[in-house]
């Protein structure tokens, strides 16, 4: 079996940066590192980070108090032996203030691309724009970004139905997207939005890593892949979108988190298999899958 591995498969810059920050803070287990929700959206990598002393606390959306969990996990430690790391998806200004109030040293592992979107929102909100974010309202990135809009002056839309349900908005509007949106979907939604709200400034905030991975799916198709394996977390936004993109090509798609989930008997009938992975998927998981496929 011929295996074609997408060039962009695996860690993007923002994810690698967040992991490097957490590992450095842990000092080979000498310090306890806490992350407010998962640092990145890959369960297997978070389990490996735990071995280095990195502990995920709180919930998926980074909501509610985490003070009790910190005290429980940090029992018996000196105050200077723990550090709190802000997750790669970023947090709202209110959440950031709360985390800093806990009294632990803090390190910011927010993806720079997400930080840029927050800056765009903050700047335009201060200029009086209403903010509209295209994305998943339950995703931690979107929850954090919405916090940078003026209170009551920000909205999240996911589809045309959400746009139709919006109240009338007067004045200027600034539209941004979740960093992991489909390029074509964002264009379609923004064009539909502007028909109702012409005074809308649309800013392309889809990150380069997302665009690169989406483009590489098409490259796999052009190189003759008969089916494509997508490796990454089932709750990872960019990985899920890769799987959707593969399905849109019409090719069979196998979305798995690890090799043990892959039905090898089902993929054996293909001569050429494409392999891609989300931006938070570690290389060791990709290598394992590719190796197993090459042996078929």
Q: Which residues are catalytic?
A: 141
Nearest-angstrom CA–CA distance, 149 and 146: 6
186: its two tokens: 């964002």
Residues contacting residue 53 through CB under 8 Å, at least 6 positions apart: 26, 29, 30, 31, 32, 33
Inter-residue contact 95 to 73 (CB < 8 Å)? no
Q: What are phi and psi of 235, to 5 degrees?
A: -110, 10
CA 287, 290, 295, 296 dihedral sign is positive
First to last CA, the chain: 6
- DSSP for residue 232: S
Nearest-angstrom CA–CA distance, 51 and 145: 31
CA 54, 55, 61, 64 dihedral sign is negative
């Amino acid at each position: 079996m011929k295996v074609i591995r997408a060039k962009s498969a695996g860690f993007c810059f923002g994810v690698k940066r967040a992991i490097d920050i957490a590992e450095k803070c842990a000092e080979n287990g000498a310090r306890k590192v806490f992350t407010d929700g998962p640092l990145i959206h890959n369960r297997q990598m978070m389990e490996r980070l735990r071995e280095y002393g990195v502990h995920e606390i709180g919930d998926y959306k980074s909501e509610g108090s985490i003070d009790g969990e910190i005290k429980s996990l940090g029992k018996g430690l000196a105050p200077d032996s723990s550090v709190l790391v802000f997750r790669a998806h970023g947090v709202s200004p209110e959440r950031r203030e709360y985390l800093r109030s806990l009294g632990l040293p803090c390190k910011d592992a927010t993806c720079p691309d997400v930080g840029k979107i927050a800056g765009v929102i903050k700047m335009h909100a201060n200029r009086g724009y209403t903010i509209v974010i295209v994305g998943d309202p339950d995703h931690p990135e979107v929850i954090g970004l919405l916090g940078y809009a003026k209170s009551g002056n920000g909205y999240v839309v996911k589809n045309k139905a959400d746009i139709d349900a919006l109240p009338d908005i007067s004045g200027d509007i600034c539209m941004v997207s979740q960093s992991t949106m489909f390029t074509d979907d964002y264009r379609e939604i923004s064009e539909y939005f502007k028909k109702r709200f012409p005074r809308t400034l649309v800013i392309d905030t889809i990150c380069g890593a997302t665009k690169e991975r989406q483009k590489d799916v098409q490259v796999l198709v052009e190189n003759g892949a008969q089916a494509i394996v997508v490796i990454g977390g089932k709750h990872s936004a960019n990985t899920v979108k890769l799987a959707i993109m593969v399905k849109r090509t019409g090719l069979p798609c196998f979305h798995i988190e690890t090799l043990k989930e892959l039905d090898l008997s089902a993929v054996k009938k293909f001569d050429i298999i494409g392999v891609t992975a989300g931006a938070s998927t570690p290389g060791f998981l990709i290598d394992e899958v590719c190796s197993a496929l090459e042996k078929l």
